[in-house]
Structure 1
Amino acid sequence: MILIPPVVILDRSQMAENIGAVARVMANFGLDRLRLVTPRDGWPQERAWATASGADWVLDGATVFDSVAAATADLNTVFATTARPRETRQPVRTPREASRVLYDDTASGLKVGLLFGGERAGLETADIALCQGIVTIPIDPRHQSLNLAQAVAINAYEWRTLVLDAPPPNFREGDPPAPGELAVGMYEHLERELDAAGFFHPPEKTRSMSQNLRVMLGRAAFTEQEVATFRGVIHALSRGRGRVLERLARQAADKT
Structure 2
Amino acid sequence: MTGGREDGRAALTPSPGESPIVVLVRPQMAMNIGTTARAMANGGLFHMRVVAPRDGWPQPNAYAAASGADAILDAAQVFPDVPSAIADCHRVMGTCPRPRHVIVPLRDARAAAADLREINGRGLRAAVLFGPERAGLEAEDLSHCDTLVRYPLNPQHTSLNLAQAVMILAYEWWMTAETTPPRQLLTNGTPVATKGDLENFLSRLVAELDASGFLHNPPKRPGMVRNLRHWFQRGEVTEQELRTLHGVVTELSTGRMQRGRFPAEDPLPPWHEESRKDSP
Tell me the TM-score normalised to structure 2 length: 0.57
Partner amino acid, structure 2, of 1:136: R
Contact kept, 8 Å, 1:88 with 1:125, in 2: the verdict is: no
1:28 & 1:126 partners in 2: Cα distance?
30
Q: Structure 1: where are the runs of 5+ without partners? A: 167-256
State whether structure 2 residue 40 is matched by structure 1 residue 15.
Answer: no
Matches within 5 A, 1:52-91: 52-91=66-105
Q: Distance in 2 between matches of 1:37 and 1:84?
A: 22
Equivalent position of 1:30 in the other structure: 44
Letter in 2 for 1:158: E
The corresponding residue for 1:117 is: 131
Is residue 2:151 matched to residue 1:103? no
Q: Secondary structure at the match of 1:105?
A: helix
1:100 to partner: Cα distance = 1.1
2:175 to 161, 168, 182: 161
The answer (yes or no) to whether the contact 1:86–1:125 under 8 Å persists in 2 is no
Q: Distance in 1 between matches of 2:81 and 2:129?
A: 12
* Pairing partner for 1:47 from 34, 51, 61: 61
- 1:127 maps onto 2:141 in alignment: yes
Which amino acid letter does the alignment assign opposite residue 140 of structure 1?
N
Offset at 1:87?
2.8
Choose which of 130, 133, 142 in structure 1 pairs with 2:156.
Answer: 142
* Offset of residue 82 of structure 1: 1.5
CA drift at 1:80: 0.2
Higher relative contact order (CA 8 A, sep 6+): 1
1:88 CA drift (Å): 2.3
1:192 alignment counterpart? none
Q: Which residue of 1 aligns with 2:230?
A: none
Give the residue type in structure 2 aligned to 1:92: L
Which of the two has greater helix per residue?
Answer: 1
> Where do residues 202-217 of structure 1 align in structure 2 (5 Å cutoff)?
none
Q: Is the 8 A contact 1:92 1:134 kept in 2?
A: yes
- CA–CA distance in structure 2, aligned partners of residues 99 and 122 of structure 1: 20
How big is the shift at 1:165?
A: 4.3
Contact 1:88 1:129 in 2 (8 A): no
Q: Secondary structure at the match of 2:176?
A: helix
TM-aligned CA deviation for residue 70 of structure 1: 0.6
The C-alpha deviation readout for 1:162-195, integer Å capped at 9, x for no partner, is 02249xxxxxxxxxxxxxxxxxxxxxxxxxxxxx
Q: Which amino acid aligns with 2:136?
A: G
Q: Distance in 2 between matches of 1:165 and 1:107?
A: 18
* TM value normalised by structure 1: 0.62
Mean Cα deviation higher: 77-86 or 135-144: 77-86
Match of 1:203 in 2: none
Please list, as runs of the form range in 1=range in 2, the aligned pairs for 1:177-216 lying within 5 A after superposition: none
Structure 1 vs Structure 2 CA RMSD: 1.5
Deviations 1:73-124 (A, max 9, x none): 1111111012121332211110101111111111111101111000012111
For 2:26 and 2:101, the matched residues in 1 are separated by 21
Letter in 2 for 1:73: A
Which has more radius of gyration?
2
State the secondary structure of the residue aligned to 2:56: coil
Partner residue of 2:189?
A: none
1:29 maps to amino acid: G
